[in-house]
Amino acid sequence: MDSERTVSEEAGAAAVQAPAPKKKRIGAVKKRNLLFIWLGLGWSVLHFVVFWLYVNIGTIVSAFQLEDMLGNTTFAGWDNFLNVFQTIAGKNETALMTHYAYTNTLWLLLIGIVVNIPVTLVFSYMIFRRCKAQRIFRVVLYLPAIISPIVLCLVFQGLIDSRTGILAEFLRLIGAGDAIPSGGILGSEDTAWTAILVFSVWTGISGNLIYFISAMSRVPDSLIESAQLDGASEMCIFLRIVMPLVWSTVTTIVIQVISTTFSWYLPSMQLTGGGPNGVTSTIGLIIISNTSTTTGTTYGYVAALSVLVGVIGTAFILGVKWLMERLWREVEY
């Protein structure tokens, strides 16, 4: 009898202790999950500290220093910032650092917001509404988005070549061959920047097409069908229904265009190298060209320019965001 009682007690104790291994497994899983989370956060924090905090602190420090060709630095005070403003005024220009770099950046900003985004919205709506030529638009406008920018520059350069380009052949065909500059379209101070602006429009339209089409595809069909039954035109549907529903995406793209404009440099570097005489230079090209080496007398100037771009660009972005949020309120659906 005692032996049976002992066996039953041992069985009960085993039953009570049985969940212990399961609790240990759950605890181990939680520890692994926490380890994964901390590793992920640690990598993000390390990336922020090294590639944002350290870099920006170094840029701010360099903005107040002068550096000679040997790498020796001296405190410069506000001289570098003063030189930047003198360049903007056209009083201190050397090589690519001309006042054109600043006016060109403003032109790119204006073209991106006033031309590229509205035109992209119209073509996106036409594709969204499946107009007759929507397949052609989809193919033609998507091509610049999937082709390397370097290849696009080479193609554009070939199209406007003064000897064998399609544009030159067309002008000669209609008897206007004399309109081609002797140094080529990209080699003339009068036409080089205009050509680059045309290139920026051509490539800029396709870049945001997929974002706008994706945003429009989420618009409920019932809203558009109801508006059509009430006799609304396509223009009314576009302005009164589609635009309010995709306005948050438009705001995001505008902010993206503004931020990328200040670092825009590749077409100018590839097509003209910033020339002739700096007329196609941009702020981004100045920064890239003058930071390719670790030493140089222009390093402090470029650092001061970067700090000013960061401060002014941030203020401008916040102002545009505030304005757009009040211009057209976001609609939830």
Whether residue 20 has pLDDT greater than 80: no
Which of 116-125, 257-266, 287-296, 320-329 is the least confident region?
287-296
Percent of the chain whose pLDDT exceeds 70 = 89
pLDDT digits (tens, 9 = 90+) for 120-174: 999 889 888 888 777 777 777 777 777 888 888 888 888 888 777 788 788 888 8
pLDDT recorded at residue 187 = 86
pLDDT recorded at residue 255 = 92
Which positions ≥6 away from 123 have C-beta within 8 Å?
A: 137, 141, 205, 209
Q: How would DSSP label each residue in 55-116?
A: HHHHHHHHTTEEE-TTS-EEE-TTHHHHHHHHHHTTSS-BTTBSTHHHHHHHHHHHHIIIII
pLDDT recorded at residue 103 = 92
CB 225 within 8 A of CB 315: no
pLDDT recorded at residue 53 = 87
pLDDT digits (tens, 9 = 90+) for 187-242: 888 889 999 999 998 888 877 888 898 899 888 888 888 988 888 888 999 988 89
Whether residue 245 has pLDDT greater than 60: yes
User: Mean pLDDT of all residues in the chain?
Assistant: 83
CB 67 within 8 A of CB 295: yes
Q: For residue 40, what pLDDT band results from cuts at 50, 70 and 90?
A: confident
Average pLDDT over residues 47-75: 84
Distance CA 178, CA 243 (A): 46
User: 3-class SS at 273?
Assistant: coil
User: In the structure encoding, which two tokens stand for residue 88, read together?
Assistant: 């903007």
Cis preceding linkage at 144, omega within 30: no
- Model-wide pTM > 0.75: yes
Instruction: Say how many CA atoms lie within 13 Å of 163 toward its Cβ.
Output: 1
pLDDT digits (tens, 9 = 90+) for 173-195: 888 777 778 778 888 888 899 99
Average pLDDT over residues 292-321: 84
Distance CA 119, CA 209 (A): 10
Task: Kindly report the backbone phi and psi dihedral angles of residue 65, in degrees, each rounded to the nearest multiple of 5, phi listed first.
Answer: -130, 155
Q: For residue 118, what pLDDT band results from cuts at 50, 70 and 90?
A: very high
pLDDT recorded at residue 181 = 81
